[in-house]
Structures are given as structure tokens and as C-alpha cells.
Amino acid sequence: MDNRPIGVFDSGLGGLSAVKELQKLMPNEHIIYFGDTGRVPYGTKSYETIKKYAEQDVRFLQSFDVKAILAACGTVSAVALDELKQKFSIPLYGVVDDAASKAVHETKSGIIAVAGTEATIGSGIFERKLSNYGLSRYIGVACPLFVSLVECGFYKEDDDVVLQVCERYLGFLKNTGVDTLILGCTHFPILAPVISKVLPGVKLINPSFEAATQLKQRLNDEGLLSDKNDQIVEYYVSDQPIKFANVANIFMGHGIEAKMVNIEK
């Protein structure tokens, strides 16, 4: 057993979808979340900047003596995770591999699409991962406005603006034979009801759920699960804790309190 906390980070609010899944799956764990709200979104930044930010995020979480870190950010998982693993000895996990594996298991047509940030789609990470399973048909769709919509609280399925943006990005997939769509950014599951309206019958893969499920299994296999009888979740942000807490209710279904830190120190 290991009662040290689990670290989770994202560019903003999206990683809260992973925290919610971790809370359900591991009710005895202490979780420390960092949302880099002062520099969100990561998906439109250069690869060099993303890697720099991600390294700072990991170093911050390391200060809490965490036993593992989940990069609950599709962009970081796609662009920076391999380099982070080389720089840090702590176990580091992302949200790409498990989502790709689940999509291959679910597809019947063999045609899988990925909706992600510009950086994630541009990296080609999902295309490479899916090709390792022998998949020959892949469609990547960059959806840069999705993160901003969610961060600003626009996500409801009866919102015409949200529906129009989803239709603009993803509507063309209806004529491609795609039967499985990976939501390649942890912000995107919040938009799942709207996306399902645009793409009825298409299976949506939630990377947060898949990553949380596999993280529990890995910690269990290594004897690192906590044996405490209570759950603690701490939240840290790099800008505007009150705004973060207000919008976080979208993900968590309840109010939270967050502390602001200077991530660049």
C-alpha cells in the first residue's frame, strides 16, 4: 500500500473529467490537481512551449511527493509525454494509449476518427498508435474552439452556438463510414451530448475514463493503492481560482475551492 497522493494536471479544466473518474474508481486516494488556467489552451501553442509548460507542471506536482502523475491533457500526452518520461523517474501516464486501444476494440467498420486540439492532431500520435493495431483508416479533426467553449461554460446541448460549432467541425464525418470517435482532449467529453446529436450512432471514446481505469489497474498491480478510508482532493490553478471554481461545477457536479500558485517559480 502507498498513501502518497496521485498528481493530475491539465492546461485548464479538462483534466477534471479524469479526476471525477479517479474519485469514483479509487475512493481512498488523495488526489492533487493542477490546472494551468493562466496559460490555457495548450493546443494552439508551439511544441516547444507545450513541453516547457508540461515540465513545469510535473515539477510542481513532484513537490507533493506524489506516487504517480496523470497528464490528463491530450495535447501533453501527444506532444510531450515521451520526453517527460525520460526526464523524470516518477511514473507518468497519459490519455492517448488507452483511448486508442478502446477505440480499436469498439469499432466495427474499422474507420476511427479523432477530435483533438491542433497540436494533438498535428502530432500524428493517434494515427501512429492506431496503425500499430493494424487500423488502415483514420480521420483526424482539429477542433480548436472546443476547449474555449468549455472553459467559458458553453457546453449545453440546447445551445445553438455550441451545436453549430460541433456541426462545422464534425458534420462531414457522417458521410465517411466512421463508427467510433475518440474525444482526444479531456475537455471534449463535456460536449459529448452535443457531439452525439451531430453524429448519432457513433461510439464516443472518453480518454479520461479509459486512463483512470488503467491507472487504477497499474497502481493495483504495483501495490501502490492507498488503504486510507477517506478521500482528499486538492485543486491548484495558475490564474483566477474563483472563475475556475465556478466553471468546475460543470465537470464535478459540485462546488470546489482552488488555490492559486505561480507555476513558473
Residue owning grid cell 486508442: 100
Give pLDDT, residue 88: 98
Domain of residue 222 covers 6-94+209-260
> Does residue 182 form part of some domain?
yes
**Cα–Cα distance measured from residue 32 to residue 57, given in angstroms and rounded to the nearest whole number:** 12
Above 80 in pLDDT, residue 218?
A: yes
Q: Is the same domain home to 110 and 174?
A: yes
Above 80 in pLDDT, residue 126?
A: yes
Residues 166-193 have a mean pLDDT of: 97
> Does residue 32 form part of some domain?
yes
- Which active-site residues does the annotation give? 73, 185
Count of domains for the chain: 2
Question: Residue 215 sits in a domain of what CATH number?
Answer: 3.40.50.1860
pTM of the predicted structure, to 2 decimals:
0.94
Q: Is the same domain home to 103 and 80?
A: no
Q: Is the same domain home to 52 and 111?
A: no
Q: Is the same domain home to 121 and 37?
A: no
Q: Is the same domain home to 61 and 50?
A: yes
> Does residue 265 form part of some domain?
no
Give pLDDT, residue 228: 85
pLDDT in tens, 23-80: 999 999 999 999 999 999 999 999 999 999 999 999 999 999 999 999 999 999 999 9
- CA nearest to 182, candidates 119, 117, 123, 102: 102
- CA nearest to 60, candidates 185, 239, 248, 237: 237
Give pLDDT, residue 8: 98
Above 90 in pLDDT, residue 259?
A: yes
Q: Is the same domain home to 151 and 213?
A: no
Q: Give the SS3 label for residue 144.
A: coil
